[in-house]
Amino acid sequence: MNISFLKILLACILFVNSTDDLYSFHTKTNEIAGVTIHHITNILSSKFNLQYVTTFQESKHGDYYIDRLTGKILGRDRATTNNLRVIDKREWDFVLKEKGGPRSRDGIKELHKNSFIIVFDENQIQKEIQLLGEDTALEGLEHQLYIVLDVNTGQVFAKREFSPNRIFKTRSIIEVYKIGKISAPRIAEGLMLLAEVHGHPRTINFYEINIETASEVDKEVARDLNINIFVVDAFDTKLDSNFPRAIHRVNNTGNLETWVGQTAGINSNNTFNFTDYLSNMLREDTYAL
């Protein structure tokens, strides 16, 4: 496939605000640049239209299938298990057409053979987020990491960004690209971005405003990329790797919820469970079908 590589930088700089974020957007496409930019705008705005019906009583049986390209739910099988799986849509379509669908014995067998169970590495995610909070407090920089789904293995883990933005100091940059027109944002080959996590340090510059929870730009970016953004509150400059720090969340519609939990720290009773939250989010998409 002839794929040209285009980098679009969407930089939103608010001068009064020290803790706003920037993000840049790459896209792989074989279309010309102008058309592509226009199309991305359309795709991003169309994501607000998803309707979730959460009152539906969910059955405990059956695996859910997520499209490896878009991150959207394709459907559910009739297996006795209740896993979340990632699959190529072409395999899913093949089962629909040729194997009696996801509820048939043959269909289920084929689907299981050609998909990966999605497994969250909660311990690794917690460890990385704890370190991120500490580094943010220590350096006064917005350290960040990505929670990604490896669509080639099913593993979900944290990928630390080791070069915090030292030019804007307290702003983080999310670098993503898309494959074609409809893919979920990727940060690298096969790595679908589910959530971004960054620390908010306390600024010491008199001309900057401290924002503890999440900024307007955080909300805008979460909406545009259709991801969750978690903010680790690093206002408390206590440098202790066991110290539990508050977590605030902006969901993919840009809705801010403060104090959703804490980093793991030591003996923290309120540790935010990323596995529960993100796997429920992926499953909830089912009801949009």
Which range in 14-22, 150-158, 185-193, 201-209 contacts Zn ion by CB under 5 A?
14-22
> Residue for token digits 């917690």?
126
Residue 213 or 286 with smaller CB distance to Zn ion = 213
* CA nearest to 129, candidates 154, 86, 165, 161: 161
| Residue 80 C-alpha from the chain's centroid | 29
Assign 3-state DSSP to the chain and report helix, strand, coil percentages, each to 5.
25, 30, 40
Amino acid at residue number 30: N
Which range in 43-51, 88-96, 213-221, 260-268 contacts Zn ion by CB under 5 A?
213-221
Which range in 15-23, 61-69, 115-123, 253-261 contacts Zn ion by CB under 5 A?
15-23
Residues 6+ apart with CB under 8 A from 141: 135, 164, 165, 166, 169, 170, 199, 201
Q: Considering the rule CB under 5 A, would residue 218 count as an interface residue with Zn ion? A: yes
Q: How far apart are CB 270 and Zn ion at their closest, in Å?
A: 21
Burial of residue 16 (number of CB atoms within 10 Å: 0-12, 13-18, 19+): exposed
Of 123-162, which residues contact Zn ion (CB under 5 A)?
none
Which range in 1-9, 35-43, 187-195, 217-225 contacts Zn ion by CB under 5 A?
217-225
* CB-nearest residue to Zn ion: 218
Residue 110 or 196 with smaller CB distance to Zn ion = 196
Q: How many residues bind Zn ion (CB under 5 A)?
A: 3
Each residue 222-241 as x (binds Zn ion by CB under 5 A) or -, in order, gives: --------------------
| Residue 138 C-alpha from the chain's centroid | 25
Q: How far apart are CB 173 and Zn ion at their closest, in Å?
A: 11
DSSP structure class, residue 213: S
| 121 token code pair | 């590495």
Q: Which residues bind Zn ion (CB under 5 A)?
A: 21, 215, 218
